[in-house]
Structure 1
């Protein structure tokens, strides 16, 4: 979660829990994720155990056990990666499963009516009427693979360069090394384990720097249906954390998730926001109703304020520090995401997100509904509708400089402006087009084009759009009550 304390304001910020929760447009993307739910442990049965069940019930039970063993062996076996190419007939080694990915995204957000050159209410797509290289993202990873006796091991290392990196730092991990529109950040650096412990399907553990688990839209370009973000995914869900996630596979359909981390976009010691840990708790339900329904219930809890001393710049901007009070005032963040496949071509997803902060008495909550329809194998129609309430006006905040967000999480004074308490409505329609007439001639990677039309509107009469604030008056109410914009990005992904 991207969260910062400023003068009576807190700025709060993309995997879906398991493969069953991936939206149809993100099925092949690197998104915020725990370890694969299919990583189940082998099950050993005691054939000498006495049982009072009927013989046919014993047979059915043994069949289920055999199915569990087969599924586990399948999910943990070495899978051919895309880096090494062993000779045909040669047995695969662990390193033959090494996978590399590279994605580049360039886009433009067209807003003819802006007077601020900004698109209010957006982190990544804040620059209006400017062609922007949003991200070049590269990763080197290995799926969780059997290393013997039912144990599995994998890893993922990922970095991003581009304008999106301005809003995706983890303090203490290369932050502030570049200061312009285009910056770089490490986005993932974690090791993954499967342990055949406690449960038939075992336990998965992810340790290191990871994407947060809440929300419906991820940071990588293909981890969302549109170029722009919904308010909840941009402002009030965790994006980057350093810690540990544990997934307990209770059965084939239910996972229990527990986690502990250092805080959102922060790490430890001088690079932390305060001295208290944060935690994640929840459940994921996968492939119910013959694979049509999946959903998760997740929460992230803990103090999120910065316990540093408040600082003021010569220009009058203040930092996010609030002192030792930040160590004990809690923040509560909850998310429920439900995805239902109407048929093979149509999927509806609903995401409800809530945040409450004890320190500033902030409340923010929203509901986003997605509709995806595959018109043909190369063309998907997407629609998104959202209603989002910012009760104090301090959550939806625009950063005025290239380094504002990094300065804010580092407890340095930073320029910003925000709105009065506002209920936002947003409607976005667009298509995801994978042009076959181009891709069939491209031997390396694939192109995707995503044009969209979006309308944002204040539903309670405030006027936060298309105007900027100042240090003397950072709360904007002299703009417009709506923002109609036309956006498009082009993605090349390998």
Structure 2
């Protein structure tokens, strides 16, 4: 049985409320993966209360001054990019409304492929083809004080492009378009801050959310490269429908709890089974004078589909009946990031998955190095070792609708490799051409060329060849894949 657990994308972390809203502007300063999921402090804008006077967080519940100042400084970048209040005028709640748009196109050059595919990739699966990967737009509002220590915000985000093939949530517009370029909602959640239990309060997000595990996210600027590492592509949840809470135990430590319907599914007939799933873990932020952050997070629950097994054209669905309601999947992620100095950051991410139903085990370690050569140029390197113990995890979803059909328990075409230990090395740069951007007053351009080598470390040959219904396990290809990739991003 094939399990499909690709991350998506965190938007540097789906509990990073404010940071997720300013991502298109902030990402150029540090292109290393997100260090840990944290929640932004409540922004203390002077939104009028019912009596018309400003209301603020009470002294016993307000966040420390430096946190508030940091968030308000971030808001200066995005504040009023839809509404532009006059100077000196008190800000209302709606002056914080934020709109963003990101457009990404790229090409993955692989001159040695015989399948037309880049094996082991979802988003960048089409070899030697210029692709419009995503047009992603969002309308959002940072969590902002509304009086009495309470805060409220929201985020609504949608994506169109080839990446949407692998980012559906079943029951939420899934399958509306079935070609290479598709449309999906990616975020639709309400965000709250409540002054309960703890001095620093609790943050709550409810709705459609990015998953928290993994180091690389679906939005183009939520990862350092055009291509993904194996772990973020295949073995962590990426779209969930549910509720996340972040309890701020102190300035440095957050306790993360969540409940959701499962990876890429919702509820009822659009769900995969009748049992809930949960997220549990801790995040440690800005230790050692802001140099060190890390998190340890887990996602647990039955992930199999309890529908009937179906077949068509030689392909099968993933339905296994009621046994799916009780067979657990365990997913763990440890991510640590250390800032060596003002220019260099090293990040290590270790991810693990075990599924009782399919008896799959997969795990990997990825190391990232980012060096900011100058404000417009960052060098990035990534090395990964990833083990797929059964060969049922790393798969190629070979039609435009394979991934959506698999999540919806419909027959779908695919092929896989045998049990393999994968190694991958990627080097590239993130270049923000000043000679272009200084003349562009609306958004910013980014170009990311990279060179990548994937290799089987145990002698299998899953690359540059495709499978068939009679033989979906590929071992007659090559034992390595050298490819040359680049994307261009415009972000507002």
* TM-score normalised over the length of structure 1: 0.90
Once the two structures are superposed, what CA deviation does each residue of 1:12-39 show, in whole Å capped at 9, x if it has no partner?
2223446699997585999899673334
Counterparts of residues 196-275 of structure 1 (less than 5 Å):
196-275=195-274
How many pairs were matched up? 467
Aligned to 2:447: 449
* Cα offset, 1:203, TM superposition: 0.2
- Offset of residue 163 of structure 1: 0.1
Structure 2: state its 5+ residue gaps. Answer: 45-56
Query: Measured at CA, do residues 31 and 433 of structure 1 come closer, stay the same or move farther in structure 2, by a change above 3 Å?
Result: same
Report 1:399-410 matches (<5 A): 399-410=397-408
**Are 1:263 and 1:277, in contact at CA under 8 Å, matched by a contact in 2?**
yes
For structure 1, which segment, 242-251 or 35-44, has the greater mean C-alpha deviation from structure 2 after superposition? Answer: 35-44
CA-based RMSD: 2.4
Q: How does 1:187-198 map to 2 (within 5 A)?
A: 187-198=186-197
Asked if 2 retains the 8 angstrom alpha-carbon contact of 1:34 and 1:247, the reply is no
Other-structure match for 2:460: 462
Instruction: Give me the whole-angstrom Cα distance separating, in 2, the residues matched to 1:261 and 1:66.
Output: 30
In 1, the alpha carbon distance for the partners of 2:193 and 2:332 equals 27
Q: CA deviation at 1:81?
A: 3.0
Q: Partner residue of 2:153?
A: 154
Q: Which residue of 1 aligns with 2:395?
A: 397
Structure whose alpha-carbon radius of gyration is higher: 1
Gaps of 5+ in 1: 1-7, 46-64
CA drift at 1:11: 2.4
Q: Matched residue of 1:11: which SS?
A: coil
1:478 and 2:481 equivalent?
Answer: no
Residue in structure 1 matched with residue 324 of structure 2 by the alignment:
326
Corresponding position of 1:48: none
Distance change in 2, residues 1:40/1:255 (3 Å): farther
- Counterpart residue number, 1:491: 489
Deviation digits for residues 361-408 of structure 1 (CA, Å, limit 9, x no counterpart): 110000000000001110000000000000000000001100011111
C-alpha contact 2:31 2:223 (8 A) present in aligned 1? no
2:384 aligned partner: 386
Indicate the residue corresponding to 1:57 in structure 2: none
TM-superposed deviation, 1:429: 0.1
**Structure 1 residues 162, 26: CA separation in 2 closer, same or farther (over 3 Å shift)?**
farther
Q: Where does residue 142 of structure 2 map in the other structure?
A: 143
Q: Which of residues 323, 326, 333 is equivalent to 1:335?
A: 333
- Provide, for residues 305-355 of structure 1, a one-character-per-residue CA deviation record: whole Å limited to 9, x for no partner: 000000011x11101101100000000000000000000000000000000
8 Å Cα contact 1:40-1:71 kept in structure 2: no
Residue aligning to 2:5: 12
Say which of 404, 409, 412 aligns to 1:411.
409
Q: Quickly say closer, same or farther: Cα 1:32–1:319, change in 2 above 3 A.
A: farther
Equivalent pair of 2:115/2:465 in contact (CA under 8 Å) = yes
**Aligned counterparts of 2:463 and 2:63: Cα–Cα separation in 1:** 56
Once residues 361 and 422 of structure 1 are traced to their aligned partners in structure 2, the CA distance between those partners, rounded to angstroms, is: 16
Whole-Å separation in 2 of the counterparts to 1:184 and 1:276:
28
Q: Is the 8 A contact 1:105 1:490 kept in 2?
A: yes
> Out of 366, 371, 382, which is 2:364 matched to?
366
Inter-partner Cα distance in structure 2 for 1:475 and 1:128? 20
Q: How big is each residue's C-alpha offset from its partner over 1:11-70, in whole Å with a ceiling of 9 and x where there is no partner?
A: 22223446699997585999899673334995756xxxxxxxxxxxxxxxxxxx997267
Contact 1:39–1:76, Cα closer than 8 Å, also in 2: no
Aligned mates of 2:266, 2:128 — CA distance in 1: 35
Structure-2 separation of matches of 1:30 and 1:177: 32
CA contact (8 A) 1:152 1:195 kept: yes
Cα distance in 1 for residues equivalent to 2:292 and 2:3 = 35
Q: CA deviation at 1:443?
A: 1.4
> 1:158 & 1:214 partners in 2: Cα distance?
20
Instruction: Give the distance between the partners of 1:75 and 1:426, measured in 2 at CA.
Output: 37
Q: Larger deviation: 18-27 or 461-470? A: 18-27
* CA distance, structure 1, for counterparts of residue 91 and residue 399 of structure 2: 50
**Does structure 1 retain, via aligned residues, the 8 Å contact 2:172–2:185?**
yes
Query: 3-state DSSP class of the match of 2:298?
Result: strand
Counterpart selection for 2:41 from 23, 38, 43: 38
User: 2:63, 2:200 within 8 Å by CA — same for their partners in 1?
Assistant: no
Alignment partners' CA distance in 1, 2:244 and 2:480: 40
Residues 279/76 of structure 1: CA separation in 2 closer, same or farther (3 Å cut): farther
Separation in structure 2 between the aligned mates of residue 198 and residue 40 of structure 1, nearest angstrom? 20
Residues 76, 301 of structure 1: CA spacing in aligned structure 2 closer, same or farther, 3 A cutoff?
Answer: farther
> Contact (CA 8 Å) 2:361, 2:390: kept in 1 or not?
yes
1:263 and 1:86 map into 2 onto residues whose CA distance is 42
Matches within 5 A, 1:106-125: 106-125=105-124
Q: TM-score, normalised by structure 2?
A: 0.91
Contact preservation (8 Å) 1:32, 1:211: no
